[in-house]
Amino acid sequence: MAPKVPHFVTDFFVYETAKSVVVKSWSVGVINRFVQLLIILYFICWVFLHEKGHQQRDTGIESAVITKVKGLGSFNNHVMDVADYVVPSQGSSSFSIITNMVITDNQMQGRCPETDKKFNCTTDDDCNKNNSSNIGNGILTGTCLINNVTNVTNVTNSTNSTNSTNSTNSTKSTGWCEIEGWCPAEDDSLSGTPMKEVENFTIFIKNSIRFPLFDVSRGNFPSSINQSYIQNCNFDPVHAPFCPIFKVGDILKKLNQSLDNITAYGGEIGININWKCNLDYDVENCNPKYFFTHLDSAFKHSKASKGYNFRFAKYYQSEDGTEYRTLHKAYAIRFEIIVSGNAGKFNVVPFLITLVAAFTSVGLATVFCDIILLNFHKGADEYKAKKFEEVSGIVQEAKGPCKGSQMSIKVLGKTSNDSGTFSIGRQE
Amino acid sequence: MAPKVPHFVTDFFVYETAKSVVVKSWSVGVINRFVQLLIILYFICWVFLHEKGHQQRDTGIESAVITKVKGLGSFNNHVMDVADYVVPSQGSSSFSIITNMVITDNQMQGRCPETDKKFNCTTDDDCNKNNSSNIGNGILTGTCLINNVTNVTNVTNSTNSTNSTNSTNSTKSTGWCEIEGWCPAEDDSLSGTPMKEVENFTIFIKNSIRFPLFDVSRGNFPSSINQSYIQNCNFDPVHAPFCPIFKVGDILKKLNQSLDNITAYGGEIGININWKCNLDYDVENCNPKYFFTHLDSAFKHSKASKGYNFRFAKYYQSEDGTEYRTLHKAYAIRFEIIVSGNAGKFNVVPFLITLVAAFTSVGLATVFCDIILLNFHKGADEYKAKKFEEVSGIVQEAKGPCKGSQMSIKVLGKTSNDSGTFSIGRQE
Amino acid sequence: MAPKVPHFVTDFFVYETAKSVVVKSWSVGVINRFVQLLIILYFICWVFLHEKGHQQRDTGIESAVITKVKGLGSFNNHVMDVADYVVPSQGSSSFSIITNMVITDNQMQGRCPETDKKFNCTTDDDCNKNNSSNIGNGILTGTCLINNVTNVTNVTNSTNSTNSTNSTNSTKSTGWCEIEGWCPAEDDSLSGTPMKEVENFTIFIKNSIRFPLFDVSRGNFPSSINQSYIQNCNFDPVHAPFCPIFKVGDILKKLNQSLDNITAYGGEIGININWKCNLDYDVENCNPKYFFTHLDSAFKHSKASKGYNFRFAKYYQSEDGTEYRTLHKAYAIRFEIIVSGNAGKFNVVPFLITLVAAFTSVGLATVFCDIILLNFHKGADEYKAKKFEEVSGIVQEAKGPCKGSQMSIKVLGKTSNDSGTFSIGRQE
């Protein structure tokens, strides 16, 4: 054709395509198109519309949360405000509202009897075992303080603090092991009335997120909301979905959590903020959804470790320089704000990949139809003869003009019936 | 051929390959190779070089951050050091530098007038509504303290603290609602000069990360850096990219943040540490990049909730055992250190998968060329006759040697023109 | 066939399948089946069994951690309990156990000499440079306090606190720069005996996780565990893998960390909790694994910034209202609990996708066998003649009954030998 062009060039610019057999059969044709339609529908409805296969997805959401609790309660004849009951105070994503406390006033370094029943003793020997455990309020001295011991000796100096609790303990018949440490020892069995006003407290959540891949930043309430709306609204999934103020009582109600129980023994509550954004639409539609969970729901059948409490101390110094402290065992509702989410946006690369996958999958209808055609259709042998052309291991004779096709048809009519992995019944 | 071997064995060890039609046409051949070249280039440049399709990827980065702030400022005639202005003190990844404070000294439990304008009153009735809100500094008693009320009665005992602020308030014509709680109530309208020395403070960030999949640990500064360099350097993206010391003023400048505004009302700043590591190279090249962001940028058009502040209290006890406190409303710059990143390393499995995908995709050039060849090329009918061989629904007559191919050529010349989904124009 | 149906309908319901060449050759047949077997085995063993390709995977694990430390130590003749040495106190996932402290008592705002060698001076000029750095304990006044300076003037009033340390300093021949700030300045060179009892402390970890995709919640210890078991057990990877109590000494031993070093200078330890759950089995089998890591292992060769310490202060107020504080430079072991993991569950969609991928990949055996057959097999030319049928650019003559196949066989026997990208040697 172009004699100057060398052979390897003409051989290279050659186009190779598969030779096809077209079967004009209503039954197989309809099945073929129907299977193809199913595959196309699957790709359109599931892969593109539901799974958003044409979008690039950013799952590395970056989040910052600031919280602010408001409300006034009363505990132990004291009015408690935010600085008293929120720990830590800086408004982080994880915070606790103290609702109940065991307060041990005026503790000083010294020696005093234990308070727990485990440390009951009759002789000093009872107080010498059990030293390795970490249960007690102080280091056991090995002495058993029996019965009428009313004078407690402090290593440093104690003035007015330790006697009050001891006088009640020392009237019992058995004694208590002596400890060295902060005295008087904490007796955590008694407890005041919990701060039930927590029900009316409100939590303001300011959550700003960023999808770094698309450089899109969003806040959990729209900029159209003004200060006065925020001061008066309460979050409601239907009527006020954009209000960032959450009433503690509403959250407890949604979780079927009894107020009495959680205020007395503490608990853990998760506030999930879920962002699922389709950035193909206006970014203003990218808004969070809120869910509330019991963080300790996995332990609900467990007998151990109910509620939530922790110990902290306030330290004081008397005029003569002696340090003393007030120990608080605080039962609290712990809130954890858990932010999750992802965003998708149209991108040429995943779109093309999914499109190619869709086209390739349409070809799978052929696999299905081949099984029917070659095994269950009445003209199966005829199709096989057409679809398969046989070459034996070493074919010597192929000279006559029509010999090749002649032979192959003849032989195939007898032996060739391979259809890969998909041939089910084999007829000879 | 091998008569001892049963038929189903010979039938099984058979090789089936697609029969191809080779088209010797310059135009289609060149288009075919050009499309194939494009697909190969796409895989080499985008999938392998850019997207690193041959690498296994670890996105579950584990990170630990320790921070240390240094610097001295002055506020309210006091020199402030780290223990005074950093909250929390332990150097976690999220911390605040207090720059401005409203300090209410010597608060005790008792009764006193409110300070906010919302609680102005003329009769007791004004103080009985509005009880449910969480706005005030204490629990409303329902009494309106009018005009010349100078004697404030405390439930416990108050000595010298409450009168100072009241004397200025009580000269007004209207009164204030009485509250029970920590007295005197906080008046958050007045404020001192912010601690502007924060500009010269430095933040030391020690970030160690781990990619668990590859068990690779890295730190944000190389081990060659010694103590004296760290004490003298300042992070600069160009000149000192490995210095882990960040000057607050530099960060504010990069964010175009006015020092006056942020020190007066507080703010939130994100320090993003991004690790993107190619572990096919030396692990020493795995180093982080730093970015700075306004965490509240999503709220910049919002009218509500500007700045950042929180309340905390220091508790004291007088000699007679009465508790009193100093309430601080602290305006602070909050820093959040956000660590993100991923690492990739050559792995046989993803390499093979991507390679197979590349080879399969090269075959897609055929789809494109088939459309051209069967619809727009001048010899289209001829190609169709070659490419497609027809079998009717039930073919009874197939006895003559050349009958099969004779018929199919004849029939195809007239009717067969199916090219799957890709046949655009149909000619008959 | 059905004359009433229009042509485009019959043309549409047509079935098109690839025409195949079946090669009856033992060698190629065995190779073909063997390669197919390898691919199938790869998919079954690696993709399905190991990589769980039939499962939907949830990597967005949500986690909440509560910790509680128990144990008693002694430092500086004081018994230390949880409220003393755990910071922060609320039991979060990141906490520090203070093991060593430099305590500077009774600091007040005032003027006093520096303590660090860097601030040695002989004239006032020595104290005027170096102002910009953030190293010192206070703001330099520019005065050099030489030798016998025993009277320290405080801006406010200081009673008994500052003289003790100054009296030892002032006996040296050179002087020290004067600073304004909290006085006396901290001298962080001296240190007491660290609290080595930390070895026997125990950490209770309560970790609840949730896989939001499957709505499965799990805790890190089974509900069958009761309170008395928890109080007596110690985690051991073999004998007590479900015990949530970790002894600090055990962790240090596993990390080969010397107790002396970490208690003196502090350190950072990571407790990794890894959840990898196959939810196709009973959810009771979904249990965590624990690993311990040195968080600063990336810095182990670094000369800078060893250990871990932070500063905090306790604030007091004297009767006359003067504020004073005790500054603590605390060396601590910092624990970070890092939770990671993912869960998989059977899902129809990924199962189908992987199945289709497997079937498609089996077809890749053809590519491999074609290369052998068309290049290295002895009947290669014959196979080529069968596999490839040629159509020239413009074929004018195709009238005779057998002309088409006649020509193509003839031509192919001479020139056609394209096998795509896979033809290695080319023979003519």
Tens-place pLDDT, residues B21-62? 888 888 888 888 888 899 889 888 888 888 888 888 888 888
Among candidates A362, A359, A367, A356, which has minimal Cα distance to A39? A362
Query: pLDDT by residue (tens digit) across B133-175?
Result: 677 888 888 888 876 544 444 444 444 444 444 444 444 457 8
Chains near A with 3+ CB pairs less than 8 A apart are B, C
Q: Are A393 and C25 an interchain contact pair (Cβ–Cβ within 8 Å)?
A: yes
Contact (Cβ atoms closer than 8 angstroms) between residue C292 and residue B291: no
Beta bridge partners of A135: none
Q: How far does A318 lie from chain B, in Å, by closest CA? A: 7
Picking from B245, B276, B235, B269, the residue whose alpha carbon sits closest to that of residue B338 is B269
Mean pLDDT of chain B: 79
Helix (H/G/I), strand (E/B), else coil: C394: coil
Measured between beta carbons, which residues in chain A are less than 8 angstroms from residue C426? 8, 11
Q: Which residues of A touch B373 (CB under 8 A)?
A: 15, 17
Q: Which residues of A touch C378 (CB under 8 A)?
A: 394
Residues of B in contact with C98 (CB under 8 A): none
What pLDDT is attached to residue C146? 79
CA distance B246 to B65: 14
Inter-chain residue contact B138 with A426, CB threshold 8 Å: no
Say if CB B208 and CB B64 are below 8 A apart: yes
User: Which tokens in the block code for residue A397?
Assistant: 């004779």
* Token pair of A107 as six digits: 């503790």
Q: What is the pLDDT along chain C (428 residues), one digit of tens a residue?
A: 445 677 777 778 878 888 888 888 888 888 888 888 998 898 888 888 888 888 888 888 888 999 999 999 999 888 999 999 999 999 999 999 999 999 999 999 999 998 888 888 888 887 876 565 677 888 888 888 876 544 444 444 444 444 444 444 444 457 888 899 999 999 877 667 899 999 999 999 999 998 988 989 899 988 788 778 888 889 999 989 989 999 999 999 999 999 998 999 899 999 999 999 999 999 888 999 999 998 888 887 776 667 899 999 999 998 888 899 999 999 999 999 999 888 999 987 778 777 777 777 787 778 778 888 788 877 778 778 878 877 765 443 333 333 333 333 333 333 333 333 333 333 33
Residue from A12, A20, A327, A428 whose CB has the most chain B CBs within 10 Å, to mutate: A20
Token pair, residue C37, equals: 């077997």
Of B21, B217, B226, the CB nearest to C304: B226
Question: What pLDDT, on a 0 to 100 scale, did the predictor assign at position A9?
Answer: 79
Flag whether pLDDT at A245 surpasses 90.
yes
Q: What's the confidence (pLDDT) of residue B278?
A: 92
**Closest approach of A297 to chain B, Cα-based (Å):** 26
Min Cα distance B377 → chain A (Å) is 13
pLDDT, tens only, A85-100: 999 999 999 999 999 9
Query: What does the pLDDT read at residue B94?
Result: 93
Instruction: Say what the pLDDT of residue C100 is.
Output: 93
Q: Are C182 and C105 in contact (CB under 8 A)?
A: no
Residue C393 is nearest to which of B20, B26, B83, comparing CB atoms? Answer: B26
Q: Report pLDDT digits (tens) over B293-308.
A: 988 888 877 766 678 9
Cα A193 to Cα C112: distance, rounded to the nearest angstrom? 50
pLDDT at A173 (0 to 100): 55
pLDDT of residue A169: 43
Give the SS3 label for residue A172: coil
Count Cβ–Cβ pairs < 8 Å, chain B vs chain C.
237
- A316:B312 CB<8 A: no
Mean per-residue pLDDT over chain A, rounded: 79
Residues B184-209, mean pLDDT to the nearest whole number: 88
* Count of alpha carbons within 13 angstroms of residue C223, beta-carbon side: 11
Q: Give Cα C108 to chain centroid, integer Å.
A: 44
Comparing CB atoms, the residue among C301, C316, C332 nearest residue B316 is: C316
Of B24, B26, B64, the CB nearest to C390: B24
- What are the pLDDT digits (tens) for A150-197? 444 444 444 444 444 444 444 445 788 889 999 999 987 766 789 999
Chain C residues close to A359, C-beta within 8 Å = none
Q: How close does chain B come to A1, measured CA to CA in Å?
A: 10
- pLDDT over 70, % of chain B: 82
Q: B392 vs C62, which has greater pLDDT?
A: C62
Chain A: nearest CA to B270, how far in angstroms?
Answer: 8
d(CA B81, CA B73): 7
Nearest Cα to C251, choosing from C232, C236, C261, C266?
C236
Chain C: closest CA distance from residue A324 (Å): 11
Nearest to B71 by CA among B270, B173, B183, B204: B204
pLDDT single digits (tens) C139-157? 888 888 876 544 444 444 4
**Going by C-beta distance under 8 Å and a sequence separation of 6 or more, which residues neighbour residue B418?**
A22, B388, C11, C14, C16
Return the structure tokens found at C308.
């871990």
SS3 annotation, chain B: CCCCCCHHHHHHCCEEEECEEEEECHHHHHHHHHHHHHHHHHHHHHHHHHCCCCEEEECCCEEEEEEEEECCEEECCEEECHHHHEECCCCCCEEEEEEEEEEEEEEEEEEEECCCHHHEECCHHHHCCCCCCCCCCCEEEEEEECCCCCCCCCCCCCCCCCHHHHHHHCCCCCEEEEEEEEECCCCCCCCCCCCHHHHHCEEEEEEEEEECCCCEEEECCCCCCCHHHHHHCCCECCCECCCCEEEHHHHHHHCCCCHHHHHHHCEEEEEEEEEEEECCCCHHHCCEEEEEEECCHHHCCCCCCCCCEEEEEEEEECCCCCEEEEEEEEEEEEEEEEEEEEEEEECHHHHHHHHHHHHHHHCHHHHHHHHHHHHHCCCHHHHHHHHEEEEECCCCCCCCCCHHHHHHHHHHHHCCCCECECCCCCCC
pLDDT digits (tens, 9 = 90+) for B226-264: 778 888 889 999 989 989 999 999 999 999 999 998 999
Distance from CA of C120 to the nearest CA of A (A): 32
Cα separation, B258 vs B307, whole angstroms: 12
**A chain contacts of residue C13, beta-carbon cutoff 8 Å:** 26, 29-30, 32-33
Cβ distance of A24 and B370 shorter than 8 Å: no
CA distance C58 to C317: 54
**pLDDT score, position C46:** 83
Which residues of C are less than 8 Å from A405 in CB distance?
A: 405
Note whether C29 contacts B18, CB cutoff 8 Å: no
Determine whether the interchain pair A13/B22 forms a contact, defined as Cβ–Cβ distance below 8 Å: no
Q: Spell out which residues of chain C touch residue B409, defining contact as CB-CB under 8 Å.
A: 398, 404
Q: Are C318 and C21 in contact (CB under 8 A)?
A: no
* pLDDT for B30: 87
Q: How far is CA A144 from CA A139, A174, A175, in A?
A: 13, 10, 6
User: B393 or B405: which carries more pLDDT confidence?
Assistant: B393
Tokens of A1: 């054709």
- Write out chain B residues lying below 8 Å of C313, CB-based: 83-84
Question: Are the C-beta atoms of residues A110 and A158 closer than 8 Å to each other?
Answer: yes
At residue C417, what is the residue type? N
